Amino acid sequence: MKLHEYQAKDVFRSFGIPVPPGRVATTAGEAGEIAREYGRPVVVKAQVHVGGRGKAGGVKLAQDPAEARARAQAILGMDIKGLTVRRVLVTPAEEIASEAYAAVILDRAARCATFMVSRAGGVDIEQVAAETPELIVRLSVDPRYGLLEHQALGLGLALYDDLRQARAAAGIFGALWRVFLERDASLAEINPLVTTPAGDVVALDAKLVIDDNALFRQRELEALHDPEGEEPAELQARAAGLSYVKLEGSIGCIVNGAGLAMATMDLIQYYGGDPANFLDIGGSSNPDKVLNAMRILLGDPHVEAVLFNIFGGITRCDDVANGLVAALDQIKPDVPIAIRLTGTNEEEALEILRAVGLPATSSMDEVVQRAIELARERTSAAGRQAVAGRQAGGGSSR
């Protein structure tokens, strides 16, 4: 779960990281009012869940309240990488002497949390990593000890020649490490970490991503969730207790168990198809889960066929078959369905499905090939219909 800059800054501040004050406005008038209260130049910053707001015109300096109002007027409602700006952060402008980069990331290759710091801050760090990787200093943190003081100071010295600034940065890294750990983050980033002409080290931007699987123990952060920009179907699935990830293909998959779901997606690709999603309905045969899963898949216009793949271990196949029949009876989908059930009470299950005219198999290879074939048939039938439609319309719609 991503936090907005203003939310992340509140967290950083509560851990003792020096962050400029700031307030959020949803209207230009409010932004002007906040600027008037600060009584000095401010920066008006779009609050959306994407990076590179500065380059996109979503971060603007304003000398006085009237200009702050005008800047907010321009930024509110702006589209930044497909997201509409609904809030701006108004913050007193800092004078910048230098801009650095600092972050704790989850390094999957090193299998631990890793600090990344660079003197090349303020800009796109991906670009730095690609073009001048030698400008990035990395330090993996041993989870047994956490970030040790001498390591923090080493990172500080990687950014600043001035010892006082290096020490200030080391303090910030210690706090950033605690944010990462105690708030179950997968990313805690400051870009830019600036020095002011007076020599202070300050976090001008803040990015914090919380591990979704830890939200149960981060209720205060969970309450800050802003779904703007997230896949609606994924939100719907989460609410229904399903693990669902939307993909780009045409074969919708309903599978029980994450491992089987992965294997199913692999096999679809092996036979030349493309999965439309990852979906694990879990171990129960609850018809509601099947129903919700069906609704979510059918809401995706790219889905041309649904592949239903269930392994009955503790889950009984006949229960699942009954759930499936009930679900299909309610939804009456117009996309074709290929079904595979195997395991406990498989025979009974196949019989239940056969009785209502739903062909099913117990072979995984067979069902995957069948689903791909059904999707292809439907796509080409749709293509033929579109051509026929254009011909009937005399081609005037072209």
Contact 304, 335 (CB under 8 A): yes
- Rule CB under 5 A: is residue 346 a binding residue for Mn ion? no
Give the list of residues 6+ apart from residue 217 with CB closer than 8 angstroms, or none: 184
DSSP string, 35-71: HHHHTS-EEEEE--S-S-TTTTT-EEEESSHHHHHHH
Position among 204, 337, 349, 350 found at the interface with ligand GDP (CB under 6 A): 204
Q: Which residues of 123-145 are buried (b: 16+ CB within 10 A; e: fewer)?
A: bebeebeeeeeeebbebebeeee
C-alpha to C-alpha distance for 290 and 327, rounded to whole angstroms: 7
**Residue 244 Cβ vs ligand GDP, minimum distance, rounded to whole Å:** 29
Residues contacting ligand GDP: total by CB under 6 A: 16
Residues 36-55 close enough to bind ligand GDP by CB under 6 A = 43, 45, 51-54
In the residue annotation, 38 being an active-site residue is answered as no
In the residue annotation, 101 being an active-site residue is answered as yes
The residue (of 190 and 317) whose beta carbon lies closer to Mn ion is 190
Position among 70, 74, 78, 96 found at the interface with ligand GDP (CB under 6 A): 96
Compose the 183-222 pattern: x for residues touching Mn ion by CB under 5 A, - for all others. --------x-------------x-----------------
- Rule CB under 6 A: is residue 7 a binding residue for ligand GDP? no
The residue (of 204 and 374) whose beta carbon lies closer to ligand GDP is 204
Compose the 121-160 pattern: x for residues touching ligand GDP by CB under 6 A, - for all others. -x--------------------------------------
Give the list of residues 6+ apart from residue 208 with CB closer than 8 angstroms, or none: 2, 3, 7, 8, 11, 12, 179, 183, 185, 187, 188, 189
Contact 298, 335 (CB under 8 A): yes
The residue (of 195 and 218) whose beta carbon lies closer to ligand GDP is 195
Q: Identify the CA nearest to 187 among candidates 107, 248, 293, 254.
A: 107
- Point out the catalytic residue in the list 101, 244, 304, 346: 101
C-alpha to C-alpha distance for 291 and 329, rounded to whole angstroms: 10
Contact residues: ligand GDP, CB under 6 A? 43, 45, 51-54, 59, 93-94, 96, 99, 122, 191-192, 204-205
Contact residues: Mn ion, CB under 5 A? 191, 205
